[in-house]
Amino acid sequence: MIKSSQALPIDTLYSVNTPEGIALKLAPAGPVLRFYAWLVDTLIRTTVIITIAAVLGFMGRTGSGITLILVFLIEWFYPVYFELFHQGKTPGKSMFGLFVAQENASPVTPAASLIRNLLRFVDFLPFAYGFGLLCIMSNKRFQRIGDIVAGTVVLHKDSIQKNANQTEVTPVAPPRPLQLSEQQALIQFYQRRHLLSDERAEELAKFSGPLVNEQSAAADYLSGMGRWIMGKR
């Protein structure tokens, strides 16, 4: 039923095995959501810095010196603090369901958090995070230079659970008698549907060729047949 294809897979999910032998599916966050999270964090830091400058501005040179020290600490250690003490989530990342972790999904370590954030100055080059964006777009895990060096990745916190809730589809009777191998393939597709993103599921479903015909939602159609074959009608 499944035809071979030379097209590159479009899914960015990757798997890791925990020491307990549990296979985890991880979904790296792309540049758009990461930009929104960065923008929120930048607005928060800017607001705090402006407030500090306004309060300490009445202290003359002493206030200016303290302000510069606090600006340095906030700019460079704001993300480190939240990543280490708030489960890898700065306020901006938390707002968009993102968090920082090691590549194997373990909590980010102090050394890794320091490295990924101190290397932001490299990602910023030549301007406006040019190197960082280029690096993010050139690897499947959307890692910037700091992430690659530190062995970290920014992940979606709830994306896998969200896909897991999408297995309830309407049973569909196959349009023609199916061979045993075809029935088994449809059952396996239905059972594993929740582990795939919608785009990847549609991509795989299209490989079945004539069986999906002109179905607009090929993945749900095949999943429905798999459910029907399993007797869940």
- Closest CA relative to residue 64, chosen from 45, 43, 49: 49
pLDDT in tens, 126-176: 877 888 888 998 888 899 999 999 999 999 876 444 444 445 788 888 888
Strand partners, 152: 102
Residues 210, 113 share a domain: no
- Summarised one tens digit per residue, pLDDT across range 166-209 is 457 888 888 888 888 888 888 888 877 776 777 778 888 877 77
Task: Please report whether residue 39 resides in a domain.
Answer: yes
Among candidate residues 122, 141, 161, the one where a domain is terminated? 161
Q: Are residues 30 and 100 in the same domain?
A: yes
**Same domain assignment for residues 177 and 140:** no
Residue 205 and residue 107 share a domain: no
CA–CA dist 109, 5 (Å, integer): 40
Asked whether residue 106 falls in the same domain as residue 43, the answer is: yes
Is residue 2 in some structural domain?
no
**Residue 110 burial class via C-beta count within 10 angstroms: exposed 0-12, middle 13-18, buried 19 and up:** exposed
Rounded CA separation 129/96 (Å) = 20
Residue 171 lies in domain: 166-229
Q: Are both 119 and 214 inside the same structural domain?
A: no
Judge if 90 and 138 occupy the same domain: yes
Chain center to CA of 86: 18
Distance between CA atoms of residues 83 and 94, nearest Å = 11
Q: Is the pLDDT of residue 91 over 50?
A: yes
Q: How many domains does the chain have?
A: 2
Q: Does residue 21 surpass a pLDDT of 70?
A: no
User: Closest by alpha carbon to 78, among 108, 44, 109, 33?
Assistant: 44
Tell which residue, 76, 70, 40, 34, has the closest CA to residue 55.
Answer: 70
**Looking at the structure, do residues 70 and 122 belong to the same domain, yes or no?**
yes
From CA 127, how far away is CA 121, in angstroms rounded?
A: 10
- Same domain as 39, residue 95: yes
45 and 109 housed in the same domain: yes
Average pLDDT, the chain: 82
Residue 7 in any domain: the answer is no
What is the spatial distance between Cα 149 and Cα 146, in angstroms, rounded to a whole number?
5
Is residue 115 in a domain? yes
